[in-house]
Amino acid sequence: MIVLTGAAGFIGSVILQKLNEKGITGIIPVDDFSKKIKEKNYTGKKFIRKVNRDGFFSWFDKHVNEIEMVLHIGARTDTTEFDMTIFEKLNINYSKEIWKRCAGNNIPLIYASSAATYGSGELGYSDSHHIVNKLKPLNPYGISKNEFDKWVLKQKDTPPFWAGLKFFNVYGPNEYHKGRMASVIFHAFNQIKTTGKVKLFRSHNPKYKDGEQLRDFIYVKDVADVILFLMDKRPGNGLYNLGTGKARTFTDLANSVFRAMGKKPVIEFIDTPEDIRDKYQYFTQAEMSKLKNAGFANEFTSLEKGTSDYVKNYLAGHKYY
């Protein structure tokens, strides 16, 4: 069976559905299932039984001989949280316990890292292992992900196959519960629906005009497809970027949402909140050669097509994937 942490969350629940579509139902979803707001993310999906996050390790030790692979997607992902002890517990120490169990029992592991590890991008966006120790993330979330990556690369005892995936800006269905941390597309849709216009952050960097900040936006269904590819092919162990390799502006994004909603674009600019202003990434773009060289040949969904699918088939009717 396959263990999937974070299964009630945004990316995890989409992976769960993708596995089901492949006929895979021998899945153990792990999460904090007390949060009712996430219940619809996994309702109707097929799996063996839910395991609560806090009781996971005792369950793991009892069922270790039945586990074929672990997909560790669960994490504390709030980039505005500054209590490092929370990240140490949930993102670093919890992940180390999973790694040790997988390494000690010969179980393949795929885990979620983040493009937040790259900080302001002064060293570029290469998933080379050589720069990991030099990276300077801008917030505790990014620090926690990079600290775990650094720890992983020092380990002599490893799972038989492992991959750490540096997610870039993921958007798509099943993120209704994320609040402030939901994608810009999610917030843009709701702003347009309510007010007929979108508010984007003003640029506080003279190198970028308002709305021309650039991010690598990747559709969550593509993220799940890459994970299924890695599960099946198991190429070389290591860290892999997971973006499209094509940065797009926030104005492009806003226009794509207006288009999907059949409305004329009306964009206003507001100051970036001061609590995140000095930690704001103005440019991200994944270097994707490692994943492509590993054999992943699928074309990534364009921002326009991804936005159209997300808006028309999910957000417009408040539907889930």
**What amino acid positions are annotated as catalytic residues?**
141, 178
Virtual torsion, Cα 133, 139, 140, 144, nearest 10 deg: -30
- Exposed, middle or buried, 48 (CB in 10 Å: 0-12/13-18/19+)? middle
- The angle formed by the CA atoms of residues 233, 238 and 239, to the nearest 5 degrees, is 110
Q: Which residues 6+ apart lie within 8 Å of 22 measured at CB?
A: 228
Residues 159, 106 contacting (CB under 8 angstroms): yes
Residue 206 CB coordination number (10 Å): 6
Tell how far CA 96 is from the center of its chain.
19
